[in-house]
Amino acid sequence: MRKPDVHASRDEWERYLEGELTQSRAAELERHALTCEACAAARDETRALFDDLFDVPPRLLETDLVAGVLARIEAPPVRRAPRWIFAPLVPLAAAAAIAFAFVIPWGDAAEEFRAKSTSPAAHAADDWVGLTAFAVEPGRPPQPIDGALAPDQALAFAYRNIGPRPFDHLMVFGVSEGGEVYWYYPAYDDASTDPASVPVRAGAFDLPDRVTHALPTGPLHVYGLFTREPRTVRAIEALVRSIEPGERLPVEGAGQHVLHLEVSAR
């Protein structure tokens, strides 16, 4: 079997941003883009295209266009007006076409896409977000965590935030089996403060910092919590105390991705 090329095509970067690649291939591309300027530029150009694609007015995303479009299809033909009459409507029509793509089924793949974007399930937003943890060692490229890490391991993170309504804020923190919380984003090392979640953009990005904690050995559940409004450290820690470590947090409307890792002595 031929090994996949390290350099991704534009089509593969699109599938990466849509979350369609395997976790191993996505991690390979993320590592490669850290040192390849051409691939990083191709990724950023594709991401910019996605940003433009999903920059649709919220009022339009909340509008059910299916009934109106079907009614126009079933209505008798109308006399065409001169082209200049329609000119002011072109931007709105283009946006409507984008929103309409989210609700019209196009075979099996579209059924899955429609379920992700319109499903009434409480956790449907989780399908659009993702979190990857990387081990950072001096003189070595970042390596995706395969489930085990040392107590003093420096960690870096990358996130995916896609879909028709990407989130605006992110928190990354670990929870031990004893219920202790270890914050990665936002930075939190002063008990007298109460920092809020960090702003994020739509797409897939690396987070800039490398963070080290003195972690206890045993299971560590690392949460990526994506929200539309900022949340504070104290509010989330109160919710952590209300659940078992590793369970989904009771945050309405949030997207969540939990990494279940194991901390062990070197």
Q: What is the pLDDT of residues 131-181, one digit of tens each?
A: 999 999 888 888 898 789 999 999 999 999 998 889 999 999 999 999 999
Beta bridge partners of 261: 220
**Token pair recorded at residue 191:** 């008990």
Question: Residue 95: pLDDT above 50?
Answer: no
List, edge to edge, every strand of the sheet that includes 154-161: 143-144, 129-136, 154-161, 203-206
**Token pair recorded at residue 151:** 């107590």
Q: Is the pTM of this model over 0.75?
A: no
Which domains, from first to last, does the chain contain? Answer: 10-53 (no CATH), 58-118 (no CATH), 124-263 (2.60.40.1930)
Q: Which residue has the tokens 């897939």?
A: 204
Q: Which residue has the tokens 């040192």?
A: 35
The three-state secondary structure class of 65 is coil
Question: Residue 88: pLDDT above 80?
Answer: no
**Token pair recorded at residue 60:** 């339009």
Contact call for residues 206 and 156 (beta carbons, < 8 A) = yes
**Token pair recorded at residue 39:** 């691939």
Q: What is the pLDDT of residue 110?
A: 29
Name the CA dihedral angle for 185, 189, 195, 199, rounded to a multiple of 10 degrees.
-20
Tell me the one-letter amino acid at 152: D
Instruction: Output 266 or 194, whichever has higher pLDDT.
Output: 194
Q: Would residue 197 be called left, alpha or beta, if left means φ above 0 and alpha means ψ between -120 and 50 degrees?
A: beta
Quote the mean pLDDT of the chain: 76
